[in-house]
Structure 1
């Protein structure tokens, strides 16, 4: 089995970057210059020359630009920094969130084609520390994997047999996304309760933070310098402590045994849900997608089509 310490994030590419007036500019400076372009209708070369003519320090200009703009809620800067990286090895416990971001792309190693080996499972550090838990964990993994192998040996296709495998099975994933898409994961790695939020995801969040900081330290630092109540692009999160919005909808429909259309219109208790969410970013992220689905998505679809 592999451990959380084996999980690695490898940066493959990032942007934007360009050579302007013979000078190589990385994301921090380039995004800041483009941000300044929202005030003046001139080319990026003109903005660059103007700052040089005034002997302005580009680092100071970029730092101030990122701090002021991100604090005011302008996500257009943090959505402009694009990261492309591979997480390998990792488990499907983590790829559930890595593949859930609404704005981005991913390519994941498929268990539909590759047979999983007995040692292709992660074992959490909390289990490793206790001999009894470790023994039970190994036994459960072994029996699940043995059933998986038995089905394959009997002619069941790998893509069908894989449903017996625990989510701790090994995989890898190539991810493309903006810094803003990963902010909730980074925030979670620093603030979420380890009892609910897997240590593997905490490690990945820390590594993504380190990766982003290595290529765009000013923008990353500016974005992480404050903790907004609501994150711009929340996504489905199976590791929340609670989800009162969904619980209320389920209660309203009397625990349905069929598919129902989820929306923000609950019959009662909505004020209480909002007040609760205002105190807890995890819960606010539950309300956000419902609000988007009812109000913003139809407008966006109409605009795009």
Structure 2
């Protein structure tokens, strides 16, 4: 990695925007990790095969604070025999991106076990975790509020005290949906935080249609931009209150569809913001110890 230009000697603040952040993408097999990785890389859907080992790609953020930031993403195979290797990839990482199949409730307990094992590893204490709730375009997909309970996220003690700012995105109708920018994210017990039955308007066979039309790896042509489906997250289960300082627990759930790309860049922005807050908190902690 080349030298980083530092202003006012503040390397800690300069590094995230100037250097490359290392992110590990984990999750059970068939969760959609590799599909998400190459959608982020090429901005198009690519046919993939189960990952035996890992894929590594440098992707760039395009939204919010993460715009222009480079992430080196390690996509590690999710088969049971490969999971013991996860720990080798998460050492000294800046963030963990855990992909969950929002429809496969039968394996949710298995996903919870692997997520907890990863997050509670001594090497990963304090590392921000983004839970990517994939396949939100399919019927019966669990919304973030349901996933929070199924994955037992309340059990994670990975504190980061901060206000998180995530990017909003707009549907084709022009209505802002998903997460709002420059607001505070926190957990809400309000009755208004119930899950919507439909979170995406894309057709049920979106996955099958995309696979039939998509090119296969490797890609030798320049990436083409696909038209996004209407991502209509009708209700954000995390109440946004810009006037109240909340306690971010070090994890965040981002609804997404890896095939269409909806929610992926928003997830990167949320993860980047958590990384920034963690570094600032660590810097402040070191100052206080002097």
- Between Structure 1 and Structure 2, which shows a larger proportion of helix residues? 1
Pairwise TM-score range, normalised by the shorter structure: under 0.3
Question: Which of the two has higher C-alpha Rg?
Answer: 1
